Amino acid sequence: MEPKADIALIGLAVMGQNLILNMNDHGFTVVAFNRTVEKVDHFMANEAKGTKVIGAHSIEEMVAQLKRPRRVMLMVKAGKPVDEFIEHLLPHLEPGDIIIDGGNSLFEDTARRVKYVESKGLLYIGTGVSGGEEGARHGPSIMPGGSPAAWPHVKDIFQAIAAKVDNGTPCCDWVGEGGAGHYVKMVHNGIEYGDMQLICEAYNILKNGLGMTADEMHLVLKEWDHTIEQWILRLNSLSKWCPEFELPPIGDEDRRHLIEQICHGAIGYKDIKDREVRGVVQSWLSHPQRELLDKHAPERLSLANGRTPKVSYEASNPPHIAMRIQELYDVMQTPKIALGRVPVLVHILTPGMKPVQVTQDLANFWREHYPRIKSELQRRYPKHEWR
């Protein structure tokens, strides 16, 4: 029998099941296996019914279904079960095959396993998978690390099933050797738990300090939204790029003062429900300072072709815009902000909003890359304008 499966997954708890279904949705053939084989039968008769998923009742049967190099992903409890499954798998695999641990393993254990599996001639990946059950089903964040030679063989699968940002970039890329993948996941979890603690503390203040109900708190907290965060990022970025403007950045302690100012004098929901968050935050700057901010770190750019794309600001990355190729026609030079000191990163998209290229040199893009890209995309998008 000719092997026809792209990957196998061991562990049919909800996360494992949903990852399998996600892979199936993206055109990959998956072999499902569980130590308790009754779970395999139940999964195949219910959640996986009508899919291309293949059920296996033994490791031998599972491995026989896999194309080479064989890719086997473990979604089992961290610790001893991972080591046990590695030992079960090794006799059935051959040099170049890949074992993937998608659980929450300690990064030091993953580094040890990479060395051990590589000593047997195989490859090993330890990857963080974030997003819970819903993310596993419809698009998780994936953080793979381990044996670099394994990445080209799993890249297409992982990036296909991963969540995507607005410009189509997958929330998945290679993060490094050894235990790097699970180390990144550990840091990721720490940030996530810090965010949850912050939400809990805000909830405690609003509930017990102001006596607000859940519905009332929702109405208040939704006002501090993405637009507020972008305004603060614009300010903090410009204060670094152009220190001569002497714009005062907003730090963590300043945020707390602003929240106190918004809530000052309130003893209940009725006192706070109509207060404007944006106005209070922007009052951090004087009118002339706000004009400097709008001019040199604008919310939107004015391009040579008349278009006005929205600029996204990030704390650790350059500002960027995302536009389809046709929307960039007649824009020959990279836009710059902050007195011309900061080039804006341009995410260039297909007419179908898929990423094509990221550049800070539009002139070079039009000269060196556009002719080839036009030739490739014109056949796929014949109804769109191509110059």
User: Which residues are catalytically annotated?
Assistant: 185, 192
Q: Which two tokens stand for residue 383?
A: 């109804």
Distance between CA atoms of 17 and 21, rounded to whole angstroms? 6
Question: How far separated are the first and last CA of the chain, in Å rounded?
Answer: 51
**Alpha-carbon span 44 to 50, nearest angstrom:** 9
Q: How far apart are CA 34 and CA 30, in angstroms?
A: 13
**3-class DSSP state of 88:** helix
Could you please report the per-residue DSSP string of 15-68?
HHHHHHHHHHHTT--EEEE-SSHHHHHHHHHTTTTTSS-EE-SSHHHHHHTBPS
d(CA 351, CA 355): 10
For the record, the structure tokens of 140 come out as 């998780």
| Distance between CA atoms of residues 84 and 100, nearest Å | 14
Quick check: bond before 69 cis, omega within 30?
Answer: yes
Q: How many residues make up the chain in this entry? A: 387
CB 33 within 8 A of CB 56: yes
The residue behind tokens 């059935």 is 92
Write the CA distances from 367 to 192, 328, 362, integer angstroms: 43, 14, 9
- Separation CA 352–CA 387 (nearest Å): 17
Strands 345-349 and 320-324: parallel
